[in-house]
Chains A and B, each alone.
Chain A
Amino acid sequence: MKKNHHALKRNLTGYLFITPQLFFFCLFLVYPIFEGIRLSLYKINYQGMSFIGLENYKALFSNPVFMKATVNTIIFVIAIVALTVVFALFVASAIFDKNAKYVSFIRGSYYIPVMVSMVVMSMIWSFLLNPANGLIPFLARELELPVVNFLGDKNLVLPVVIFVTFATNVGQAIILYIAAMIGVPKELFEAAEIDGANRRQVILKILVPSVKPITLYIIIINIIAVLKIFVVIQLLTGGGPNNASTTLMYFLYNNAFKYNQLGIASAVGVIMFIIALLLSIPQLRAMFKK
């Protein structure tokens, strides 16, 4: 007991230093989570709120648009995360041991879209793909090629959104992978070379296992980011056609800010939180295993 007291006293300055951050962390992150859970159990309108138990959740699970949004979100998460990891691994492993200037050039090229706002990117894509006055359909018409409405075809709209989001975000993963790969001890590669391993074997047997922690990190941050996918939907497709590209975040936004259904929106938020948690737990466990 005395020892604990002594340790506490010794660390008091440290605790005091983190107190402001902890205070704001609790105020702006922890409290809203609990408040969101509480609100999801209420029916809220301008005049007041009334407790309705799990009615909001029941309403959600019987709403086909919500189910569609859930399926779409899961498709986005799986496709974008898989594409990002595979493509970033491919690019990073192809260039990490090349000339430093060349590496910088590639790194910069892929990182530029990450720095550009998602709003700007979505508007540029909208300008390219708009079926009535977009550049690509215009050129297709001029060249008398068959015109496809990429944003209005329910089978194409998901791949288009996946591609746009992937193309915008992949730079981040490439940067992280290159940094991690440069840090892999050279001895391993030299030993592999002496043993006669080819490039493919070096990548698969040495490089990929060596950067596993980074892979896990990239998977987690991308899962969380893609779960919240919103801007590209709002600006490019508006959730359409006929809700074919609606996501959970877009559904939440519509309920919260357009239909003023705060209880329903909070319930969607809670469900998204649970999905993010469930998807992240295996990765987090693997990460902290060592």
Chain B
Amino acid sequence: MFKKSLLTMLGFILIISLLAACSEDNATEGSDESENGKDTVELSLWLTPQWKGVLDGSEEGADYDSFFKHAAERFSEEYDEYNVKINVEVIAGDQRDEMLNVNLNGGTPPDMFFESVFAMGDYAHRGALVPLNDIVDDEAKGDIAENYWDTVTFGDDIYFYPFSHMPGTLVYNADMLKASGLESYVGGEDEIKTWTLDEYEEILQGLKEGIPTDQYSNAFPMGLFALNNQADTWNLAYLRMFGNEFFDENGNLIVDDENGAKAAAWLKKIYDEGLTNPGAESVSSNDVNAMFQNQQLGISFTNSVLYNNLKTDMENGTINEFDARLANIPSESGDPLSFTYVTGTAVFDTGDETRIKVSKDFVKFFSSDPDLVKSSKNGVPVRTSVADLYKDENPLFAAYDQNAQYMFSFTGNVPGYSELRQVLYPELQALYIGDKTPEEVVADYQKKGNEVIEKSKADSVIFNQ
């Protein structure tokens, strides 16, 4: 009898302890008082891989989170209102939306996210971010050009504090071009070479016929990819090659016209003629980037940070050294197609005023501290003061600046851009496998894309303010 009672009691204790463990109060998480009398605030900052190191990748132990860990350390020392602990987490680019959606729906978004603005604009439309107008002062407005502020402004409010930008271009293996008898097309080391569309096609043909197979085994002229939405901005740029404007003034897609269809037909043509890697429909941008690093591609895509990382990896001996130079995406008109990713930090609406305030203070701190903003040289600085400081060290800054006149806004700041991205690559796959004609591809993309935009406009807090 005693044994039975004991078992019954133990059973109850077990259940009660389990229930107690489950219902432990989480309300105090993030802030509590410590020895120096100041409250402690614990924040999280997420970023996708950008540059390695604090100031550059040559530092010992340089990694993607080095800069933010260093900035957090300094902020903790210098901030006098709270003790601050900042946890920095690097998230893979293709996992960003999954991670954010799960955490947003679970009520545990990160406090801050450093990322390309184009990929995060949806979260502003969804009401998940807080405006940062109050931390942008006149000094910042004076130092950062107007067009960058336009990129980070949704409706009337600023949602991202711009830090640097990453112009997207093509990158080519100058050694491979020379080995294929195409010396005359090779540009200068610090130049972003502009080819006409005819020249570009000649280069691709020249590479196809001329790449010496003993030197470059399994190599192809150009990298083409459509497995998923990663690096789709280059695919969007290719679709503008024949003059298509992409968005109308109401933010709707207008790719379904003669120019759009011509661009799609051009992609299909170079693919069919073997001027690109095979199987573009099941090759990702990561594959293409790796192939370029392995010298299996003559021409590939890049942005300023990817290009710097490539150079650093060559210096470190991580990959074999070769002469990689930049070129513009050509167009039929002869003017290059140019775009840039503005990167910056957004603050999420966690519902905790203290955390939001400290997060904003931290964002302002590392986005305006004279020493810390120097790290923006790993991309291209948005601050004129920093760009001026490093223009001699990095002559490409001037070349990027020269390109600014050809810049197009690839997102149109439309709501639902994340979902819109999911619509493009299946259409490109259909194009490459011959399931649809170029005309059908642009028509279907426009139809499906505009449905996404329409639906997202209805849900956007910015459109329905």
Contacts and interface: CB of A to CB of B under 8 A. Distances in A.
B279 A149 contact: yes
A99 interface: no
Contacts of A281: none
Interface stretch (B63-71, B355-363, B384-392, B418-426): B418-426
A154 B226 CA distance: 15
Given A13-B8, A16-B8, A154-B435, A133 B429 contact: no
A240 B282 contact: yes
B12 A16 contact: yes
Contact of A133 (B18, B102, B290, B425): B290
Interface in A205-234: none
Contacts of B98: 257-258
Interface in B334-373: none
B347 to A, nearest CB: 15
Nearest to A155: B433
Interface in B188-228: 218, 220, 226-228
Given A132-B288, A141-B218, A260-B101, A149 B281 contact: yes
B179 interface: no
B18 to A, nearest CB: 6
Contacts of B427: 242
A257 B429 contact: no
A20 interface: yes
A47 B123 CA distance: 11
A23 B19 CA distance: 10
Q: Identify the interface centre among B226, B433, B459: most chain A CB within 10 Å of its CB.
A: B433
A13 B291 contact: no
A132 B283 contact: yes
A132 B277 contact: yes
B7 interface: yes
Given A16-B7, A151-B279, A46 B126 contact: yes
B411 interface: no
A257 B101 contact: yes
A122 to B, nearest CB: 13
A256 to B, nearest CB: 7
B11 A16 contact: yes
A269 to B, nearest CB: 14
Contacts of A17: 11
Nearest to A259: B419
A151 B104 contact: no
Nearest to B227: A238
B287 interface: yes
Interface string B1-41: 00010011001101100100000000000000000000000
B242 interface: no
Contact of A259 (B281, B422, B430): B422
A258 B228 contact: no
Contact of B418 (A20, A149, A153, A258): A258
Nearest to A257: B98
A57 interface: no
Contacts of B459: 45
A171 interface: no
Given A131-B283, A133-B218, A153 B433 contact: yes
Contacts of A138: 218
A30 B283 CA distance: 41
A240 B418 contact: no
Given A16-B12, A256-B101, A240 B429 contact: yes
B421 to A, nearest CB: 9
Contacts of B436: 242
B282 A147 contact: no
Interface string B391-434: 00000000000000000000000000011001001110110110
B321 interface: no
A138 B219 CA distance: 11
A24 B97 CA distance: 30
Contact of B296 (A20, A133, A147, A258): A133
Contacts of A238: 227-228, 282, 284
Contact of B282 (A12, A23, A131): A131
A132 B461 contact: no
A241 B281 contact: yes
B231 interface: no
Given A23-B18, A46-B104, A149 B127 contact: no
A262 B105 contact: yes
A243 interface: yes
A84 interface: no
B18 A240 contact: no
Contacts of B418: 258-259
A48 B128 CA distance: 12
Given A16-B12, A257-B97, A257-B102, A130 B419 contact: no
Interface in A99-142: 130-133, 137-138, 141
B278 interface: yes
Given A19-B11, A257-B102, 16 more contacts: A19-B15, A20-B14, A46-B128, A130-B279, A130-B283, A132-B277, A132-B283, A132-B288, A132-B296, A133-B290, A149-B281, A151-B282, A152-B433, A238-B284, A240-B281, A242-B427
Interface of B: 4, 7-8, 11-12, 14-15, 18, 97-98, 101-102, 104-105, 126-128, 218, 220, 226-228, 277-284, 287-288, 290-291, 294, 296, 418-419, 422, 425-427, 429-430, 432-433, 435-436, 459, 461
20 contacts: A13-B11, A16-B7, A20-B18, A130-B282, A131-B277, A132-B220, A132-B278, A132-B279, A133-B218, A133-B287, A133-B291, A133-B296, A152-B282, A154-B435, A240-B227, A242-B427, A243-B426, A256-B101, A257-B98, A258-B98
Interface of A: 12-13, 16-17, 19-20, 23, 45-47, 130-133, 137-138, 141, 147, 149, 151-154, 237-243, 254, 256-260, 262
